[in-house]
Structure 1
Amino acid sequence: MTNEQRKSDLAEILDGFAEQMRTITRLQQERAALTASATVRGKRVTVTVNADGTVIETKFGSGIEDLDYPEIAKAVTEAAQQAAAEAARRSREIMAPVSQNRERLPKLADLIPGMPDLSKELTIPEPPVVSTAPPKSRERLGGYQATEPNSDAAQPRRSGATDSGW
């Protein structure tokens, strides 16, 4: 193999890697915006979760007064679990191209004898922080901006029992 051929192969690998990183970033942002909902007990309880399966909204429909507290609790749990399972399934679907693309790329060690396998040494960038805002909130409708998990901006607004959103 000529030196020019090796340079060309290396450039191709690096281009593929750069494209893979752009794809990962795009898919992580798509996943961060993901929500899933489940409705149970004759449309009396609906729970919505974010991509991490965190409950971001719970709604009670008409007829909720027909259920006692243990039934409501069980319904909320059931709906949350169904919604979280759906969010997990859709997250896997969104991220599937990453592993498919990775498997197709040749390894540097295959092209350059003695070269370390960089795929084992490089890590996938951390995904953005997933919102816990309700589905139709200003945060979700206006575009989500990731913040550092420990910053004040990442902390959800705490509301009391008298908040009009209850």
Structure 2
Amino acid sequence: MTNEYAKTELASVWEEVQQQFRSIARLQQERAQLTASATVRKRVTVTVNADGTIIDTKFGPRIEELNFTEIAEAVTAAAQQACAEVARKTQELMAPLHERRARLPRVSDLIEGMPDFSAQQPVEPEVSLAPPGSAERQDAADKDSAAREFSNVEAYTPDLGRGVTQSSW
């Protein structure tokens, strides 16, 4: 009887996984169509696609009243705002999928003794909007390089004797 219950449970999980795959395919198609636009200073409008790639930039009337620095800053700000909006739309679109996935049992629930690796999954850091060369980016780079230093290492000196560069060849 336990075996029949396990088969039924596995079939139910498998059907749920198949449904999830169909949902993912549909959501991927919908996400591919997402765009978002943002306007800054009432003169610069930037539109991005779902990947955050700028697909359209428009300048409004009296753009010539802005200097090049102001235009560049407005384009950057509009692009960042449009990217934030498309990210929000993507999260909204994917929310049902995440809710459904949360209801699925973990492998550790199905296989006795299997560890739950989800607690060990690294957290993705927030991506900086600071321009290249800024103090914020330098501080982050310094922290990152310090985090990659290892203290439990041994020095290795290769034995170069009798290699292909020996003159006896």
Could you state the TM-score of these two structures normalised by the residue count of structure 1? 0.63
Larger radius of gyration: 2
Aligned partners of 1:96, 1:59: CA distance in 2, in Å?
A: 32
Question: What are the ranges of 5 or more consecutive residues in structure 1 without an aligned counterpart?
Answer: 121-166
| Pairwise CA RMSD | 2.3
Matches within 5 A, 1:68-87: 68-87=67-86
Aligned partners of 1:67, 1:113: CA distance in 2, in Å?
A: 66
Structure 1 runs of 4+ aligned residues shifted over 4 Å read 111-114
Aligned partners of 1:68, 1:55: CA distance in 2, in Å?
A: 22
- Count of matched residue pairs: 118
1:20 matched to 2:20: yes
Q: Deviations over 1:119-165 (max 9, x none)?
A: 98xxxxxxxxxxxxxxxxxxxxxxxxxxxxxxxxxxxxxxxxxxxxx
Aligned partners of 1:59, 1:25: CA distance in 2, in Å?
A: 33
In structure 2, do the counterparts of structure 1 residues 108 and 3 end up closer, same or farther at CA, with 3 Å as the change threshold? farther
Aligned partners of 1:111, 1:81: CA distance in 2, in Å?
A: 43
Matches within 5 A, 1:58-137: 58-107=57-106, 109-111=108-110, 113=112
Aligned partners of 1:68, 1:52: CA distance in 2, in Å?
A: 29
Aligned partners of 1:38, 1:49: CA distance in 2, in Å?
A: 9
Q: Deviations over 1:77-134 (max 9, x none)?
A: 11111101111111111122222111101245535646x68x98xxxxxxxxxxxxxx
Higher relative contact order (CA 8 A, sep 6+): 1
In structure 2, do the counterparts of structure 1 residues 108 and 6 end up closer, same or farther at CA, with 3 Å as the change threshold? farther
Question: What are the ranges of 5 or more consecutive residues in structure 2 without an aligned counterpart?
Answer: 119-169
Provide the residue aligned with 1:34 in structure 2: 34
Aligned partners of 1:57, 1:109: CA distance in 2, in Å?
A: 47
Percent of aligned positions that are identical: 61
